[in-house]
Chains A and B, each alone.
Chain A
Amino acid sequence: MSYHANEKGYYGEFGGAYIPEMLYPNCEELRQNYLQIMQEPSFQEEFHHLLKDYVGRPTPLYFAERLSKKYNTKIYLKREDLCHTGAHKVNNTIGQILMAKKLGKNRIIAETGAGQHGVATATVCALMGIECVVYMGEIDIARQAPNVARMKMLGAEVRPATSGSKTLKDATNEAIRDWINNPVDTHYIIGSVVGPHPYPDMVARFQSVISEEIKSQLLEKESRENPDYVVACVGGGSNAAGAFYHFLDTPEVGIIAVEAAGKGIHSGESAATSALGKVGIIHGSKTLLMQTSDGQITEPYSISAGLDYPGVGPMHAHLYTSGRGEFISITDDDAMQAGLELCKLEGIIPAIETSHALAIFEDRKFNENDIVVVNLSGRGDKDLQNYIDYFKL
Chain B
Amino acid sequence: MNRIKQKLQEDKKILSIYFTAGYPNLNDTVKIIQDLETNGVDLIEIGLPFSDPLADGPTIQESSTAALKNGMHTALLFEQLKDIRKTVTIPLILMGYFNPVLQYGVEAFCKKCEEIGIDGLILPDLPLDVYQDEYESIFKKHGLINIFLITPQTSDARIKAIDSASEGFIYMVSSASTTGAKKGFGDEQAAYFERIASMDLNNPQIVGFGISNATTFQQATKKAKGAIIGSAFIKHVTQKGVDHIAEFVHQIR
Query: Chain A interface (Cβ within 8 Å of chain B)?
Result: 16-22, 24-25, 163-164, 169-170, 173, 176-177, 180-184, 278-284, 289, 291, 293-298
Q: Are B102 and A182 in contact (CB under 8 A)?
A: no
Q: Nearest CB to that of A22 among chain B residues? A: B151
Decide if B103 is an interface residue (CB 8 Å cutoff).
yes
On whether A24 and B158 interact (CB within 8 A), knowing A17-B127, A296-B68, the answer reads yes
Contact with A along B181-217 (1 / 0, CB 8 A): 1000000000000000000000000000000000000
Residues of B close to A284: CB separation below 8 A: 125
Is A21 in contact with B150, judged by CB distance below 8 angstroms?
Answer: yes
- Of chain B, the residue at the smallest CB distance from A8 is B129
Q: A18-B125, A281-B102, A295-B103 are in contact. Are A163 and B176 (CB under 8 A)?
A: no
Q: A295 vs B72: C-alpha distance in the bound complex, in angstroms?
A: 12
Minimum CB–CB distance for B210 against chain A, Å: 12
Q: Which residues does chain A contribute within 8 Å of B55, judged by CB atoms?
A: 20, 22, 177, 180
B73 to chain A, nearest CB (A): 4
CB pair B149 A22 closer than 8 Å: yes
**Chain B residues whose CB sits within 8 angstroms of the CB of A169 once the complex forms:** 52
Closest to B65 in A: A164
Given known A-B contacts A25-B154, A164-B51, A282-B99, A180 and B125 have beta carbons under 8 A apart:
no
From B155, which residue of chain A is reached at the shortest CB distance? A25
Q: A296-B51, A297-B51 are in contact. Are A181 and B176 (CB under 8 A)?
A: yes
Please give, as numbers and ranges, the residues of chain B lying within 8 Å of A291 by CB-CB distance: 99, 103
In whole angstroms, what is the CA distance A164 to B65 when docked? Answer: 7
When distances are taken between beta carbons in the complex, the residues of chain A under 8 Å from B143 are none
Nearest B residue (CB) for A165: B51
* Residues from chain A with Cβ under 8 Å of B155 in the complex: 25
Rounded to whole angstroms, the CA-CA distance of A17 and B126 in the bound complex is 9
- Give the residue of B57, B99, B104, B176 whose beta carbon is less than 8 angstroms from that of A297: B99
Q: A177-B178, A182-B176, A296-B100 are in contact. Are A18 and B130 (CB under 8 A)?
A: yes
Instruction: Tell me the smallest distance from the CB of A11 to a CB of chain B, in Å.
Output: 16
Contact B99 A21 (CB under 8 A): no
| Contact across chains for B149 and A21 when beta carbons are under 8 A apart | yes
Number of A-B contacts (CB under 8 A): 114
Are A173 and B54 within 8 A (Cβ)? yes
Partner of B176, one of A180, A281, A282, A294: A180
Are A180 and B178 neighbours in the complex by a CB distance under 8 Å? yes
Known interface pairs A181-B176, A181-B177. Does A295 touch B99 (Cβ–Cβ under 8 Å)? yes
Q: What are the residues of chain A within 8 A of B148 when measuring CB–CB?
A: 21
Contacts of B176 in A (CB 8 A): 22, 180-184
With an 8 Å Cβ cutoff, the count of chain B residues facing the other chain is: 41
Are B52 and A173 neighbours in the complex by a CB distance under 8 Å?
A: yes
Contact A296 B124 (CB under 8 A): no
Determine whether the beta carbon of B52 is less than 8 Å from that of A164.
Answer: yes
**B residues adjacent to A (C-beta < 8 A):** 50-55, 57-58, 61-62, 65, 68, 73-75, 97-104, 124-127, 130, 148-151, 153-155, 158, 173, 176-178, 181
Is B154 a contact of A18 with CB atoms below 8 Å? no
Partner of B100, one of A183, A278, A295: A295
- Give CA–CA (A177, B100) in the complex, Å: 20
Smallest distance from the beta carbon of B176 to chain A beta carbons, Å? Answer: 5
Instruction: Give the docked Cα–Cα distance between A22 and B176 (Å).
Output: 7
User: Judging by beta carbons under 8 Å apart, are A183 and B153 in contact?
Assistant: yes
Taking a contact as CB atoms closer than 8 A, the residue among A21, A170, A182, A295 that contacts B151 in the complex is A21
* Cα distance, A130 to B65, chains bound together (Å): 35
Q: For the complex, what is the distance from the CA of A297 to the CA of B50, rounded to whole Å?
A: 8
A113 to chain B, nearest CB (A): 15
> What separation, in Å, do the CA atoms of A169 and B52 have in the docked complex?
8
15 A-B pairs with CB atoms under 8 Å apart are A18-B98, A21-B149, A21-B151, A22-B55, A22-B176, A25-B155, A163-B61, A163-B65, A280-B99, A283-B54, A291-B99, A295-B103, A295-B104, A296-B68, A297-B52
Nearest first, the 9 closest Cβ-Cβ pairs linking A and B are: A295-B103, A295-B100, A20-B124, A21-B149, A296-B51, A294-B73, A25-B153, A20-B55, A281-B99
**20 extra A-B contacts, CB within 8 A, seeds A22-B149, A293-B103, A294-B100:** A18-B125, A20-B124, A21-B124, A21-B149, A21-B154, A24-B127, A24-B158, A164-B51, A173-B52, A177-B55, A177-B178, A280-B103, A289-B99, A294-B73, A294-B74, A294-B75, A294-B104, A295-B50, A295-B99, A297-B51
A152 to chain B, nearest CB (A): 25
User: Chain B: which residue is nearest A293 at the CB level?
Assistant: B103
Contact B54 A20 (CB under 8 A): yes
Q: Are A24 and B100 in contact (CB under 8 A)?
A: no
**Cross-chain contact A20 with B125 (CB below 8 angstroms):** yes
What residues on A are CB-neighbors of B68 within 8 Å?
A: 296
Contacts of A183 in B (CB 8 A): 151, 153, 176
A173 to B65, CA, bound (A): 14
CA of A78 to CA of B194, assembled, Å: 58
Residues from chain B with Cβ under 8 Å of A164 in the complex: 51-52, 61, 65
Bound together, the chains give a CA A32 to CA B226 distance in angstroms of 35
The residues of B that contact A19 with a CB separation of less than 8 Å are 125, 127
Evaluate contact between B125 and A281: CB separation under 8 angstroms. Answer: yes
Compute how far the CA of A163 lies from the CA of B56 in the bound complex, rounded to whole angstroms.
11
Bound-state CA distance A281–B149 (Å) is 19
Partner of A295, one of B58, B74, B150, B158: B74
In the docked arrangement, what's the CA distance between A164 and B125, Å? 19
CA distance A17 to B127 in the complex (A): 8
A296–B73 alpha-carbon span in the complex (Å): 9
Nearest B residue to A279, CB-CB: B102
- B103 near A176 (CB under 8 angstroms)? no
Check A282 against B52 for contact (C-beta < 8 Å). yes
Bound complex: CA of A164 vs CA of B61, how far in Å?
8
